[in-house]
Structure 1
Amino acid sequence: MADTDGTSMHTQHPEGPDVVTLASELIRIDTTNRGGGDGQERPAAEYVAERLAEAGIESTLVESAPGRANLVTRVAGTEPGLPGLLVHGHLDVVPADPTEWSVDPFSGEIRDGMVWGRGAVDMKDMVAMMLTVARGWGFSGRRPRRDVVFAFTADEEDTAAYGAGWLAEHRPELFEGCTEGISESGGYTFHANGRRLYPVGAGERGTAWLKLTAHGTAGHGSKVNRDNAVGALAAAIARIDAYEWPVRLSPTVRAALAGIGRALDIPVDLDDPEFDVDALLDRFGPARHLVETTVRNSANPTMPEAGYKVNVIPELAAARVDGRVVPGAREEFEKTIDMLTGPRVDWEYYHTEIPLSAPVDSPTFLAMAEALRAEDPDADVVPYCMGGGTDAKQFSRLGITGYGFAPLLLPPDLDLAPLVHGVDERVPVEGLRFGARVLDRFLSTVG
């Protein structure tokens, strides 16, 4: 266990839990993040520290606030001239309503070839893989070529203010020398048209969460009111909801479209003046889901708030909007929101983060593809841009280029997307073992 000053005790055990058991035990630790500072990752961070210490690996536990713990450890590489590589996984999970689940969401139950529970695929599966690889190195004495920094973070499911954001600002020395990083949302099996695609994240849309506010004249609900804040807000929400955002293809999305087309034997000519991305996506079949959310900006109204009594017209109405921005399209996004909200409604950023792009022809990307194909020779590895965001945004402030690579083997009848934040979240036992082998191969060999 990591002591309060960040040091670790050493206890050696030649054998211990495998990746499946580690994932199950991590799920049993309730690290629900309810937002607004309401979270508790320290028990999971202490668990990880104990498992690392068993393999003789020291770790540093740091709290950004009481209970909001992050754990970082560095494994020295055999080639000191190479840049360091960051592997980060978050310990927190989103809430789960047990009345909706067929199992206790924090049971970590193993049955039907699956590990069940909140965090099974987002992302205690990857945390278990990271832990398995690090422990394997510790027990065997093997070392990677590059320095590998493992970071187990808090608060990814909210704003990262207690996790990666805090670490990047207050403890940047822990990541010294790291130029690239990997984390969630990539490297998993996606079945399409009889092919096994493995999308690897090489970009993220930017976050643009908005707060809309309309001011009006308060009054009795039975009276004529031409200055109704609720009506003004509702009209703005309707305009935002109905707006068709124009196509804006980032370099990562262009590479994704071309790569998926090659894998599915579908011709793709991105330079054709008549190119129609929506028609192409229709031809992609299920694979359209890998790119359809990233060919445009988006803005989805999510949380309207107004009034306190049915017969009282309030003077204030507000709403939250989940906006996402493709690389290079921030100015267009803001001008469009100005137009859609109009003169009656003000808007401001509730939370905003930059978009990201990473090269798809780098040695690191190629090494990820090779590691996947070593375990699945029929793998079609394609780049893609994530529709949402990860802690890679925070670590980019330290000059770290981020990729989405949390390898996982999935059967044709199990789609990853509905499981993330969904009911009855679960991960295949063999998928975890596959992922641990791929991750070990990649981290051990990448130069």
Structure 2
Amino acid sequence: MLRDSASADGGGDTAARPTAEAADWTVVDDEVVRFTSELIRLDTTNRGGGDGRERPAAEYIAERLGEAGLDPVILESAPGRANVVVRVSGSNPAAPGLLVHGHLDVVPADPAQWTVHPFSGEVRDGLVWGRGAIDMKNADATMVALARSWARTGRRPRRDLVFAFTADEEGTGGYGAEWLAREHAALFEGCTEGISESGAYTFHTHAERGAPVRLYPIGAGERGSAWLTLTATGRAGHGAKPNHDNAVGALAAAVARIQAHQWPVRLTPVTRAAITEIAAAVGIKVDLDAPDFDPERDLDTLLERLGPAANLLRPTVRNSTNPTMLEAGYKVNVIPETATAGVDGRVLPGAEDEFRATLDRLTGPRVEWDYHHRSVPLMAPVESPTYAAMRSALLAHDPDAHVVPVCLSGGTDAKQFSALGISGYGFTPLRLPPELNYAALFHGVDERVPVDALRFGARVMDRFLTTVES
């Protein structure tokens, strides 16, 4: 086990409740910006297929934590594929632990397309620029800056925290969270919940009558990943001769059926809560249980009324399947024996059986399909004390905002840690200006984050982590 990073100075309910006001914010404000910039300069590009190297960032984080008297461990799943884990003891040892995790790898970036070099970490015009500024070296920097602040000031979280900085989230997690959960489960002993990326950022929308509205969506669910390989087998032959057992034709027909399929509406409890709360925030009355409300008939019209906020909901009211790859043949006049396709499928919580049955029907008897990569869908309770603490922390620093739950359309490392019984939330707070399109910055060109957003996020995260109860 890791050595606890804070000494026992009371504990339990008798310990003084830490407050955000006690933090040394001058130092934190500097460090969260500097650490974000310096982490960006460390190229940890993950090209997939095992081609990645997180070790430089892992060493950087371990050194910063070590300077504060903490005892992080670096764990390599393969040469260069490094993870960092450290435990910070809380003031209430009876409370369950909380996992706070962020990934160290980033997706590729072509410098020729960027305004600044993607691995410069340049601070310009009140923004930190570079690959990972949003996804998610900003959050890694926040975790490190807060851990160092607590060590300096003697403040402590209420619950034991396990900070995990992972490899390979932009791949399959096989070198990172999946490997940690399988090979080093003891490091996460006692953790029942976790927080990570893709939530608690400002989403700007407007009420039905035009007044501006600020939403902060917290991730309380994720669609599962179902990356599929389709394979058709037929009779090879000459391209000039009739062939009714053509693998390419069979595969093309199956792919066309998949592309044309309209998945039915499936409203999970999280998405029902999201629709209801977003509608209330923009001044629209909604009763999803009304006898005359038919989701298949009426939901798309309702989403249109929600304006830009509908973008938080549309990807998560249905399963989805998008064909993405085709491969067959080696010469135009030769009919190949096999043809394959790749399909990116995403599955809602509770809809896995329906997904499999539908794929069996759409592919038909001529085409076989299997999972190239699969991860489970997730759902976390929105009635929990942890969700309430996240909401409270955001409203403490933006009182006029509306905090709403959402289901994420994609996935995070929370899926891997769910194998340990850890439920996950998307909570990486940032207050963003209306002109900055948060969603477009993920994996996009000119990724950047405002300095003010980093400092806001550190304050919200500090309040949450030092007050959240079990």
TM norm structure 2: 0.91
Q: Which residue of 2 aligns with 1:420?
A: 442
Q: Does 1:235 align with 2:253?
A: yes
Q: Which runs of 4+ in 1 moved over 6 A?
A: 5-8
2: CA distance, partners of 1:6 / 1:110: 35
SS at structure 2 position matched to 1:225: coil
Q: Which residue of 1 aligns with 2:344?
A: 322
Q: Which residue of 2 aligns with 1:446?
A: 468
Q: Which residue of 1 aligns with 2:37?
A: 24
TM-fit CA distance, 1:15: 5.9
SS at structure 1 position matched to 2:173: coil
RMSD (CA atoms)? 1.7
Question: What are the Cα deviations for residues 409-431 of structure 1, in whole angstroms up to 9, with x where unaligned?
Answer: 11101111111011111111111
Amino acid at match of 2:273: A
Q: Which residue of 2 aligns with 1:208?
A: 226
Q: Which residue of 2 aligns with 1:277?
A: 299
2: CA distance, partners of 1:281 / 1:126: 31
| Aligned pairs for 1:130-149 within 5 A | 130-149=143-162
TM-fit CA distance, 1:7: 9.1
Q: Which residue of 2 aligns with 1:89?
A: 102
Q: Does 1:360 align with 2:378?
A: no
Asked if the contact 2:2–2:87 (Cα under 8 Å) also holds between the matched residues in 1, the reply is: no
SS at structure 1 position matched to 2:344: strand
Amino acid at match of 1:253: T
Q: Which residue of 2 aligns with 1:297?
A: 319
2: CA distance, partners of 1:308 / 1:131: 52
Asked if the contact 2:2–2:187 (Cα under 8 Å) also holds between the matched residues in 1, the reply is: no
1: CA distance, partners of 2:53 / 2:3: 21
Asked if the contact 1:86–1:149 (Cα under 8 Å) also holds between the matched residues in 2, the reply is: yes
1: CA distance, partners of 2:127 / 2:34: 11
TM-fit CA distance, 1:356: 0.7
SS at structure 1 position matched to 2:52: coil
TM-fit CA distance, 1:212: 0.3
1: CA distance, partners of 2:358 / 2:418: 27
1: CA distance, partners of 2:87 / 2:335: 59
1: CA distance, partners of 2:435 / 2:97: 38
Asked if the contact 2:96–2:192 (Cα under 8 Å) also holds between the matched residues in 1, the reply is: yes
Amino acid at match of 1:314: P
TM-fit CA distance, 1:34: 1.0
Q: Which residue of 1 aligns with 2:64?
A: 51
Farther off after superposition, 181-190 or 409-418: 409-418
2: CA distance, partners of 1:339 / 1:310: 30
Check 1:385–1:53 CA distance in 2 against 1; reply closer, same or farther (3 A cut).
same
Asked if the contact 2:3–2:87 (Cα under 8 Å) also holds between the matched residues in 1, the reply is: no
Q: Percent identity?
A: 68
Q: Does 1:265 align with 2:278?
A: no
SS at structure 1 position matched to 2:373: strand
Farther off after superposition, 29-38 or 222-231: 222-231
1: CA distance, partners of 2:328 / 2:115: 36
Question: What are the Cα deviations for residues 104-140 of structure 1, in whole angstroms up to 9, with x where unaligned?
Answer: 1111111122111111111111111111111111121
Q: Which residue of 2 aligns with 1:108?
A: 121
Match of 1:409 among 431, 435, 444: 431
Asked if the contact 1:93–1:122 (Cα under 8 Å) also holds between the matched residues in 2, the reply is: yes
Asked if the contact 1:190–1:197 (Cα under 8 Å) also holds between the matched residues in 2, the reply is: yes
Question: What are the Cα deviations for residues 206-261 of structure 1, in whole angstroms up to 9, with x where unaligned?
Answer: 11111000112222333333222111111111111110000011111011111101
Question: What are the Cα deviations for residues 367-426 of structure 1, in whole angstroms up to 9, with x where unaligned?
Answer: 101111111111100000001111111111111111000001111011111110111111
Q: Which residue of 2 aligns with 1:11?
A: none
Amino acid at match of 2:311: H
TM norm structure 1: 0.95
Amino acid at match of 1:266: I
2: CA distance, partners of 1:117 / 1:37: 23
Q: Which residue of 1 aligns with 2:53?
A: 40
Amino acid at match of 1:381: V
Give 5+ residue unaligned stretches, structure 1: 9-13
